[in-house]
Amino acid sequence: MRLYRFPRIGSIDNLTLAETGTPTPGRGQALVRLRAASLNYRDLMVATGRYSRGDALPDLVPLSDGAGEVVAVGPEVTRVKVGDRVAGIFMQSWIGGGIDAADPASALGGAAHGVLAEHRVFDQEGLVHLPEGLSFEEGAALPCAGVTAWNALYGGAQPLQPGETVLVLGTGGVSILALQFARAAGARVIATSSSDAKLEQAKALGAAELINYRSHPDWEQEVLRLTGGRGVDHVIEVGGAGTVPRSIAATRIGGSVSLIGVLTAGTPFEPTPLIGRSVTLRGLYVGSRQMFEAMNRHIALAGIRPVIDRVFPFERARDAYRHLEAAGHVGKIVIAIG
């Protein structure tokens, strides 16, 4: 089988196509013929040596998000069977409940080998069935970005309620899926971007209000204007230190900010506004298999189709990374494996 590895971390150019024998599943394991994989910003950070959650495995097989079909199973496998359409969960050991200190060591595409390969063996507990009707490319959009968006909206102490307002920053995979989940739940969505063209795509997906943060550099004030001074109930915060203070200011008293990404630089923020507004700032790291399965039920019932920006052939995996690096995408960038 063919697979990609990073013999050295530090540059996208180090991504190397290789061949190896097809693995055989052992007890409790399933062999998956991977059909598609998607990229997250995390994958770019891992490739370039900027990922902060520990060192990547030597000779890493990258990417956390893949979907395919089960082609063989080992003894005592009951959760999946040959022919099932499945995706791997981001952290292979996080099944349910709160995250455990040991779970990040099972994160695909970093601490554990990932899915940019034609075949991969998974423990049966680390697989979920794809929602009916989704393509493999759409299914590959879900393990990290989808579950993260779901966790942000439903995994905290204040789950999203119909009629509430959600602010999504940017138009990457997490933000677009959060927009889709929120709209399907009857929430109002405000979307930000530096591109009017991207904002029009967000509008087509159901965003009620749009803010170009180049035209409105103090975009939190525009959010307050659009909400009559009240602020939003939830913020999908993918910027990090450079945008968190504005996100807090844009949130209603008692609302919540889900801190997901680190796309912008900035100095440590002053916590007093957080206290003064009684805002919950919640850091999260993807989610569990139980969250994945709940999200899939929602997707199936609501008829949600993940937004795919572009699909690259397996042989052009480096180009997919370059497209992610250029930051011109809306939704998910996918590599078709075959």
pLDDT score for 229:
98
Q: Where in the chain is the domain with CATH 3.40.50.720?
A: 156-283
pLDDT score for 53:
77
How many residues appear in the chain? 338
Are β-strands 119-123 and 85-88 bridged in parallel, bridged antiparallel, or unpaired? unpaired
pLDDT score for 266:
56
Kindly tell me the burial class for residue 181, based on how many C-beta atoms sit within 10 Å of its own C-beta (0-12, 13-18, 19 or more): buried
Residues 287-312 have a mean pLDDT of: 98
pLDDT score for 274:
87
pLDDT higher for 241 or 285?
285
Measured from the Cβ of residue 234, the count of other Cβ atoms closer than 10 Å reads 28
Sign, CA torsion 160/163/167/170: positive
237 beta partners: 259
CATH of domain 156-283: 3.40.50.720
**CA separation (Å) from 182 to 114, 288, 328?**
29, 20, 23
Angle between helices 173-184 and 147-154 (to 10 degrees): 50
Continuous segment of H or E residues that includes residue 119: strand 119-123
Contact 257, 282 (CB under 8 A): yes
Residues 119-136 have a mean pLDDT of: 98
298 half-sphere exposure, CB direction, 13 A CA radius: 24
pLDDT score for 267:
61
pTM of the prediction? Answer: 0.95
| Cβ neighbours of residue 121 closer than 8 Å, sequence gap 6 or more | 23, 24, 25, 26, 29, 30, 31, 32
DSSP H helices in the chain: 41-47, 136-139, 147-154, 173-184, 196-204, 219-226, 244-249, 272-276, 289-302, 317-326
Contact 334, 308 (CB under 8 A): yes
| Cβ neighbours of residue 262 closer than 8 Å, sequence gap 6 or more | 52, 239, 240, 241
Question: What tokens were used for 206?
Answer: 């159901």
Q: What is the pLDDT of residues 170-212, one digit of tens each?
A: 999 999 999 999 999 999 999 999 999 999 999 999 999 999 9
Q: Residue 213: pLDDT band by 50, 70, 90 thresholds?
A: very high
Q: What is the pLDDT of residues 37-72, one digit of tens each?
A: 999 999 999 999 988 777 788 999 999 999 999 999
Q: Where in the chain is the domain with CATH 3.90.180.10?
A: 2-146+287-336
pLDDT score for 32:
98
Question: What tokens were used for 232?
Answer: 């939003």
Q: Which CATH superfamily is domain 2-146+287-336 in?
A: Medium-chain alcohol dehydrogenases, catalytic domain (3.90.180.10)
6 beta partners: 60
